[in-house]
């Protein structure tokens, strides 16, 4: 499947995304935020806080692909396990 142009849901920059059934959403590659996964459920109405982007940077520093999910508490960022 080919990447498609899309604005980054975190910072709004021109980015690319590719649909991923494993992630149940998309994998984005943003020039500013880097690569991360996001579930479709989290993408709808996402308001990314500064802490969300800090979590992404921290996970990437440890060599993980960050995955953004939504649960009952709200937006959660964790390491992608697929």
Number of residues that bind Zn ion (CB under 5 A): 7
Residue showing the smallest CB distance to Zn ion in the complex? 8
Q: Where are the beta strands (DSSP E) in 1-82?
A: 4-7, 14-20, 25-30, 34-39, 66-71, 74-79
By CB under 5 A, is residue 49 in contact with Zn ion?
Answer: no
Q: Would you say 50 and 30 are in contact if contact means Cβ atoms under 8 Å apart?
A: no
User: Parallel, antiparallel, or unpaired for β 25-30 and 66-71?
Assistant: unpaired
User: Does the protein bind Zn ion through residue 77 (CB under 5 A)?
Assistant: no
Among candidates 31, 51, 12, which has minimal Cα distance to 68?
A: 51
The answer to whether 57 contacts Zn ion (rule: CB under 5 A) is: no
Please report whether residue 10 would count as binding Zn ion according to CB under 5 A: yes
8 binds Zn ion (CB under 5 A): yes
Residues numbered 16-35 forming contacts with Zn ion, rule: CB under 5 A: 30, 32-33
Binding residues vs Zn ion (CB under 5 A): 8, 10-11, 13, 30, 32-33
């Amino acid at each position: 499947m080919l990447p498609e142009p899309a604005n980054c849901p975190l910072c709004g920059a021109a980015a690319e995304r590719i649909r991923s059934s494993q992630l149940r959403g998309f994998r984005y590659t943003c020039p500013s935020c880097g690569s991360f996964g996001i579930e479709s459920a989290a993408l709808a109405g996402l308001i990314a806080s500064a802490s969300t982007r800090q979590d992404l940077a921290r996970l990437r520093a440890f060599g993980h692909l960050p995955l953004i999910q939504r649960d009952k508490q709200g937006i959660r960022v964790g390491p992608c396990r697929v």
